Amino acid sequence: MKDDKDFDGLEKKVSFADQYTLRGRFMRPVDTSAILKHLMWQEFSLSRIIAGWIIAIPTYDQKLQLGRHAYLHNRNVKFLRERIVELPGGLNDNEWIPSYVREAFDRLFTASSPNAFFISYLFVLKRLHEQYDELLLKLDPVLNAPTVDQIKLNLVERDTELNWVVNQTFFTDAESEELALQAQNWEKYAVRVWSVFAGFNNHDMSSEIPWPIHPVQEAAGPMPEEARLEDKFQRFEVKRGQTAYTDPEMSVLSDSVKQMIYIYATEFTAGESLACVYYSVEQMPLAFYFDLARHMWDEFRHSRMGMRRLEQLGYTIDQFKWPTGPGLQLAKNHFTEIYSSLTMIGEACGFKKKRKSAEAFWKFGDVLSAITVEFDLSDERSHVDFGTKWGPELYKREGIIVTHQEMAEQARLRRLNEFDAVSPEDKEKLAKNFPAFCSLHTSELNYHKY
């Protein structure tokens, strides 16, 4: 935290209304910091709520793009934080989203349908842009140049994102008068929530206007009971105690090294698992969410690179069966297990298979598939590092102290307990023998067949 002694005696508490009252034409460092913090918590709330909605949105392309946007807003948090910690007041490790920001965003995004979510998303995005534009007009280009520089980083992708979000609000299913009216009413509700939000004082959590009554009885998101996925993806129920990706039912490529590309395409479910963790876990240091958001987006990217390559090679979605991501209960009660299993088993056991696949793709002259695997390998190294660093921290939140080795062994035992045919003694042994464990957990591919 920034040492405040140089600012002792100067006014530190700036009311929300006063933040926008200029000291003449100039903003002081404390004013700047307060406004940046306010923006940062909004960016963070938006990022987490987008992640929560990914699970509730059935359309594959939208899921993937939202994975990217959740990451971009997280990066905006990171850029703002970099400047905030240079200013008086800094940022405590235990600071968290102020309750009125949370309340406003929960109200704006607890919506009855994906369409309503996109209306809220567009509405909030426009409000954020207005705040950045207003702030940029107020910042002194000499005194406050480092703030201007950080804000510019947040603007790089904004038009691309805005255009995409606008396009999602031209709903093909909203042609009926009733649906159009619902959309209008939802937007009016958002306007009312925002006016209460804008009236809040930054410090004493009060507003002159009460929150409007929330009109949604049954919310579709964020975080529904079950993850949703559009019908063109035939479902595959992962069976308990089955070595991953061995069922020939899943894929027409199960006897070929190209199975690796199909495996990538399924990784949107890993992205969804991480989106659940990102949305559900609270009060961790911001650094955790920075790593997690990158990890989450990488998995959606891996799915995109797999799907793109499958399509380039002439395969279609209906030639495969697809797993689905986790729902609300699993996310709420088991996020520590989800995270440690993904990083310590799913990702850690994948390296051998991936290296062999890359070699095989080079041998068969499939350059793009080979390079795809190479990029994935470099992402996966950082993902396992993230798991090693943050997995024990997540357990610590639950009052459990474990080393990353113990956490990995427990994850392996959990997985082994799904295999009824393996004796308890063998389970103990396998949990300590990483290569033997991985051969049971996941399949080898046929590297000799293209």
Which residues make up the interface to Fe ion (CB under 5 A)? Answer: 267, 299, 302, 347, 380, 383
3-state secondary structure of 26: strand
**Residue placing its CB nearer to Fe ion in the complex, 107 or 301:** 301
Q: What single letter denotes the amino acid at residue 175?
A: E
Which residues does 375 contact at the CB level (< 8 Å), separation at least 6? 305
Q: Is 78 exposed, middle or buried (0-12, 13-18, 19+ CB in 10 A)?
A: buried
Find the angle CA(421)-CA(424)-CA(426) to the nearest 5 degrees. Answer: 80
Contacts of 334 (CB under 8 A, 6+ apart): none
Residue closer to Fe ion, measured from CB, 267 or 272? 267
Assess contact for 370 and 358: CB atoms under 8 A: yes
Is the Cβ of residue 43 or residue 380 nearer to Fe ion in the bound state? 380
| CB closer to Fe ion out of 186 and 386 | 386
Write the CB contacts of 215 (distance below 8 Å, at least 6 apart in sequence): 185, 186, 189
Q: How far is the CB of 267 from Fe ion (least distance, A)?
A: 5
Residue 162 in 3-state DSSP? helix
Query: Please, what is the minimum distance in Å from the beta carbon of residue 347 to Fe ion?
Result: 5
Minimum CB–partner distance for residue 236 and Fe ion (Å): 18
Residue 270 Cβ vs Fe ion, minimum distance, rounded to whole Å = 6
Closer of 43 and 267 to Fe ion (Cβ)? 267
Nearer to Fe ion, 31 or 299 (CB): 299
Q: On the CB side of 267, how many CA atoms lie within 13 Å of its CA?
A: 28
Query: Rounded distance, CA 442 to CA 435, Å?
Result: 11
Query: Quick check: helix, strand or coil at residue 111?
Result: strand
- Pick the closest to residue 388 from 350, 339, 440 (CA basis): 339
At closest approach, how far in Å is the CB of 380 from Fe ion?
Answer: 5
CB of 384 to Fe ion, least distance (A): 8
Residue closer to Fe ion (CB basis): 228 or 383: 383
Bridge partner residues of 111 (DSSP): 221
Look at the block and give the residue holding tokens 């046929």: 446
Tell me how far CA of residue 363 lies from CA of 237, 252, 257, 309, 447, in angstroms: 34, 22, 11, 17, 10
Closest approach, Cβ 251 to Fe ion, in A, equals: 17
Question: 328 or 342, CB closer to Fe ion?
Answer: 342
Find the shortest distance in angstroms from Cβ 307 to Fe ion: 13
